[in-house]
A and B are shown apart, each in its own frame.
Chain A
């Protein structure tokens, strides 16, 4: 305890970074105050707080902390915009849309496929291979996951979802292996081979789906043997936390484990160091005896397996059915989250939560405000990512050797 107290006491409160983070928090507060349960009805409060956040941001920016300063300015602007919008809405509408526990549980559900896709992309791109094929790998996993589970339904009762997950990751690895061979050995432009994988995944899954399940679609009883939810009964009476964490799907918990595991592996083990060195400076890595090709192959194939798991969650744990092109851009949002999170696990996860939150919100907006606002809201993750690559909130620069085939000497 004393150590924590010492750390809290040790924060320099006039430090530019601290002020910037406080600015971001104040910007978020500007929006939050206008929402239930507090639901302040005056527009003055979000405007004042937002201006405060912007001021803190500018102060931070002027002290060379561009990223956090820009973040605080953005939080302030968004806080004013959404806060004022919320105070203009009727209380009843707000109560319909903003049910925090349901909203946060939905956020986790939407963020999980994004997390798997983005973490898969992280391995691939950290090793120096650009992966725009995440969408295709996700779709492959979604189809073969449910296919495997249905196939196993007759002979492996209780284990269907395990076999589904295995089938999904094998299929994802096969797709990724093609991408890897094309990108690493054949030295084809990685964006082209990635786009080809997206096409192939779309065509192959659609083809087998129509051929196998025809017009009736996947069987309706998949929900009975899909990936199970984890019921934490001891949580059920806890205020607020219970409804959020009480019955999440197993894959959501796995995504947390994956996140921590990825961080430890990539940044705290020698293997992770090799992975990153291959992505930043393959020649140097080669010189000290690291096999660039081997590491890249393993990373790309691992990325296929991980992304495919996210797809399997989508079909086998979330909607319990498959449709042609059912991912419709989820993989690309995962890629966006990876860029937004600057190729780091926890910032990337925060980005997936932000994007998942916007998906959850756009899901609930139609209940109160009509269809069209929810639709428009779906573009938010992409707009934010453009802002991120434009450098307003600190530039996103990927691994230095990403996209370049390595030529052995």
Chain B
């Protein structure tokens, strides 16, 4: 069975000798918290280059970005006044500095709804990164979460509402964990590279989801010829605390996501599990020598990160989508946006939260719903968002010091 040893074992005798292991590369690039400066510079560069693209199409980037910003609803915070707001879940009103019923407020609700799953898919990436694993399968785990949330949400119609919504969220989380766990087990037992297996799992989830909700699929709704599931039962919906549930108001899902950010911070920094995960991520050989089971941590890190992504899917279903269609599954790129947010946020809880807000706002602001077509075509803007995400991923991994070193070397060839 010697050829069944995990791949890490072969890294011991890797021919490259003194070079750092991939895990150490991860660590030096993503683990180190070298302040928030580099991500900010990256974001500015990406937006400047995006502006250049807009300029090439003959539009004024300043106007376009201003319109996008307006669409995000983040301008809501700038309009302070004397307003009254309804206290959520009650009939009472209280004084509030912002107008909770303005257009900007509605836009902000959309931004925060989009931020919620990005936070969680980003955490899915971040947690695995900390263990030295690249969980590129956030997309598939997200789909697994949505499938189970829809399935359980449309069944058991007469269940106690609290029980029902909790059931949906837990099932979505476990589905994501199981889906990522497959890759974790393969990594831990036979050393299969998690990037290859999670990419494959993404596409399996994509096609299985398309099959389930597609025409004639087992989870297709009662309307014939429309490849969309039924709506989940009212009891399985998360309470909406801001705006109207009929108009995609903001559900309490955003609080769950923020709470999970804290859970992530505690898990990574204040628990034995987090310590072991980081130890394996830092140097699996040293961790093994120190008595940490590398295989066990590979599996746990994948399963937990999959759980985050699965919860993202379940929150989307129970929070505002309520149903899902074949085309939703095929068009979703939330797992990859999470990748950009995790990299930009440098795998820290605070960074991930801010980066997710940035991307949530960007996606909402450039959507056809928010952007005025007379200023900039929304479908162009959607592609601009993709380009900006790509540029962020491209530049954020750069060790800025490394470039300087390289330029120096070029000037003075050794």
The answer to whether A binds B is yes
Identify whether the interface residues of B are mostly helix, strand, loop, or mixed.
helix
Contacts of A187 in B (CB 8 A): 25, 399, 402
Is B384 part of the binding interface, using a Cβ–Cβ cutoff of 8 Å?
yes
Closest to A135 in B: B199
Tell me which residues from 45 to 100 in chain B have a Cβ below 8 Å from any Cβ of chain A. Answer: 53, 57
A401 nearest in chain B by CB position: B16
Choose from B25, B387, B406 the contact partner of A207 (Cβ within 8 Å): B387
Chain A CB within 8 A of B339 CB: yes
Q: Compute how far the CA of A81 lies from the CA of B125 in the bound complex, rounded to whole angstroms.
A: 37
A329 and B7 CA atoms in complex are apart in Å by: 27
Residues of A within 8 A of B44 (CB): none
**Chain B residues, CB < 8 A from A378:** 207, 210
Residue A193 at the B interface, CB < 8 A?
Answer: yes
Say whether A196 faces chain B, with CB atoms less than 8 Å apart: yes
A383 partner residues in chain B, CB cutoff 8 A: 200, 204
In the complex, number of A-B residue pairs with CB atoms less than 8 Å apart: 181
Q: How far is the CA of A324 from the CA of B210 in the complex (A)?
A: 19
Interface centre among A197, A202, A203, A329 (most CB of B within 10 A): A203
* Per-residue B-contact encoding for A315-333, CB less than 8 Å = 1, 0 else: 0000000001000110011
B-side contacts of A210, CB under 8 Å: 377, 379-380, 383
Whole-angstrom CA separation of A74 from B397 in the bound complex: 41
Q: A195: CB under 8 A from chain B?
A: yes
Contacts of B382 in A (CB 8 A): 206
Tell me if B14 counts as interface (CB < 8 A to partner A).
yes
Give chain A interface residues in 356-409, CB to chain B under 8 Å: 370-372, 375-376, 378-379, 382-383, 385-386, 389-391, 395, 397-398, 400-401, 403-407
Residue A229 lies at the interface, judged by CB distance under 8 Å to chain B: no
- With A372-B211, A400-B14 known as contacts, the answer to whether A379 contacts B204 (CB < 8 A) is yes
- Say yes or no: A192-B380 contact (C-beta < 8 A), given A372-B216, A389-B196, A395-B190: no
Contact status of A376 and B16, CB under 8 A, knowing A192-B393, A207-B387: no
Asked whether B387 lies within 8 Å of A329 as measured between CB atoms, the reply is no
B64–chain A nearest beta-carbon distance, Å: 13
Report Cα–Cα, A371/B212, bound state, in Å: 11
Interface residues of A, CB < 8 Å — how many? 62
Q: Is B8 among interface residues, defined by CB-CB distance under 8 A?
A: no
Task: Check if A193 sits within 8 Å of B203, measured CB to CB.
Answer: no
Is B195's beta carbon under 8 Å from chain A?
yes
Q: Are A400 and B402 in contact (CB under 8 A)?
A: no
Known A280-B15, A376-B211; contact A200-B192, beta-carbon cutoff 8 A: no
Q: Which of chain A's residues have a CB closer than 8 A to the CB of B203?
A: 329, 332-333, 379, 382
Residue A274, interface by CB 8 Å: no
Chain B residues, Cβ within 8 Å of A196: 390-391, 393-394, 397
**B193, B214, B406: the one within 8 Å of A185 (CB):** B406
Contacts of A391 in B (CB 8 A): 4, 190, 192
Structural contact, B390 and A197, CB atoms closer than 8 A: yes
For the complex, what is the distance from the CA of A173 to the CA of B93, rounded to whole Å? 62
Q: Give the residues in chain A near B339, CB-CB below 8 Å.
A: 195
B206/A199 in contact, CB under 8 A: no
- Give CA–CA (A329, B186) in the complex, Å: 23
Q: Contacts A189-B25, A207-B383, A283-B16: A199 and B214 contacting too (C-beta < 8 A)?
A: no
A204 at the B interface (CB under 8 A): yes
B217 CB within 8 Å of chain A: yes
* Choice from A371, A375, A404 contacting B16 with Cβ under 8 Å: A404
A-facing mask of B107-148, CB < 8 A → 1, else 0? 000000000000000000000000000101000000000000
Task: Tell me whether A281 and B15 are in contact (CB under 8 A).
Answer: yes
Interface residue? A335 (CB, 8 A): yes
Please indicate the chain A residues that have their CB under 8 angstroms from the CB of B7 in the complex: 397
3 shortest interchain CB distances as A-B pairs:
A199-B390, A203-B386, A203-B387
Residues of chain B whose beta carbon lies under 8 Å from any beta carbon of chain A: 3-4, 7, 10, 14-17, 19, 22, 25-26, 29, 53, 57, 134, 136, 182, 186, 190, 192-193, 195-197, 199-201, 203-204, 206-208, 210-211, 214-217, 330, 336, 339-340, 343, 377, 379-380, 382-391, 393-394, 397-399, 402-403, 406
A/B interface sample: 8 pairs, CB < 8 A: A182-B398, A187-B25, A193-B397, A203-B388, A207-B384, A329-B206, A398-B193, A400-B14
